[in-house]
Structure 1
Amino acid sequence: DIKLKECATCDLARYCSDECQEDDRDRRQHETKCKERAAELRDEKLFMQPESSHRGDCPIICCLPHPLDLETSMMMNACCSKLICRGCSHASTEREVGENRQPTCPFCRHPTPKTQDEANVSFKKRVAANDPDALCVMGTEHFVKEDYVGALFEYWTKAAESGDALAHYELSCFHQNGKGVEKDEKKRLYHLVEAAIAGHPDARCN
């Protein structure tokens, strides 16, 4: 049996090979329909209710959606940059204390850094690995320092390329306000829609 391959953009056409797709006699006609269908699929994603928080779910014990207020209810470990709710983190710590075990990350079980320097080294590894959450944190640090050029956009752009909703939303705001970058309505709308599709609440309100 020949396994047909769907068009990468739409779900209207199927091909038996790349050569088949290239030789499609109606390719120009398909390109028009393809763009129309791609726009329809994008709208479907945009208006679909997200199943969870744009920050995902706690990956440890409770597996509940992360709340919007991350600062008071979540924590991020430098070793894996996973967002973990404080309840699951506390439960993991209590178990380790009860079993007289060395403190570790509740997610990856990496030993807890003993110094801030060790934590910084681990976190830089996550940034180098293009972890979207770590990249967002780095971008936010530059934002707090009001360093609106260079590294800030590099970090948030990389995070957005990985589908991070917060990075998309922040980039849309910058292209709207023109901070550190020229105002660009097309890019603003693109990042805003991507953030909304990913479930960012402020983007969905817009």
Structure 2
Amino acid sequence: MKICGACVRELPDDSYSVEQRGLRQSIRRCEECVAAGNQLVLMKKGRTRSEADDCPICQLPLPLDIDESSFRECCMKKVCNGCVFAAGKLGMWDCPFCRAPTRMTYSQALAMIRKRIDAGDPVAILFLGNKYRFGEYGLEKNMTSAVELYERAAELGVKEAHFSLGVLYDEGADVEKDTAKAIKHYEAAAMGGHVYARYNLSIIEGIAGNHVIALQHMMISAKLGHEKSLSNVKRLFMAGLATKADYAAALRMYQNAVEEMSSPDRAEANAVLRH
């Protein structure tokens, strides 16, 4: 017996649907999953954050608030403020991960990034895409270059690149709006554990009136520590579109995620930085 790749039902050997043969899919699907499209797979994957979302020093999940961590061009690592603060207390002011000097000019940083790109570093490709998108590091804003770099990084499996493409096509400000492409990239990012992509999918489904699917997305992103998703689960509960058990489960999972992202060093760093 084989197993359905979406819902884990047992399937007879060599069982493929007509739709699967047409799409040349390599993963077996039962008839119910084929009929449901990718929803079952989408809801099964990305329910936990990957190791790439951990601080490389303390090994704790990085905070979702971008102001509570910093990206290091020298090693292409994102380090939490707690570890930066702890290193500073020891008089270590270089990169707390690779110990490289932190003072570089934009031209020096870009030269280093381009070397990494030549070596096929997907995070460096994403990083340069961001610089072209926002016109940073002395570069002129160039959305064509940004999208090309995002697409390269996405092909290499970088979920943040999928999310960035999703946002661009969703907003339609710097590129032509394309909701289908936005959803495609949001889904790819969400299945990789991208919290904000999952949240955006919940909003899209909610606006479309698909409250059951929206709730499923919200439950997952709340489980990953997203506060707005928890608030939205509560709103659905108050509107009679979610159960008390749904909200209780979302709250419990959210609190667990927040606890996993917490540490004394992070609390101390945030207290100092917000003072």
For the criterion TM > 0.5, the same-fold answer is yes
Coordinate RMSD, CA, aligned? 4.0
Contact preservation (8 Å) 2:63, 2:80: no
The 5-angstrom pairing of residues 1-206 of structure 1 reads: 31=21, 34=27, 36=29, 43-48=39-44, 50-52=47-49, 56-60=53-57, 62-70=58-66, 72-95=67-90, 97=92, 104-109=94-99, 111-116=100-105, 117-145=107-135, 147=141, 149-205=143-199, 206=201
Structure 1 stretches of at least 4 aligned residues deviating more than 6 Å after TM superposition? 9-13, 26-30
TM-fit CA distance, 1:67 = 1.2
After TM superposition, give the deviation of residue 57 of structure 1 in Å: 0.4
Q: Secondary structure at the match of 2:53?
A: coil
Count of matched residue positions in the alignment of Structure 1 and Structure 2: 183
Q: Return the TM-score normalized by structure 2.
A: 0.51
Task: For residue 75 of structure 1, give the secondary structure of its aligned residue in structure 2.
Answer: strand
Q: Distance in 1 between matches of 2:172 and 2:129?
A: 17
The separation in 1 between residues aligned to 2:40 and 2:51, in whole angstroms, is 17
Give the alignment's TM-score, normalised by structure 1.
0.65
* Contact 2:132-2:142 at 8 Å conserved across structures: yes
Which has the larger share of helix? 2
The percent of aligned pairs where both chains have the same amino acid is: 31
Runs (5+) with no aligned partner, structure 1: 1-5, 14-23, 98-102
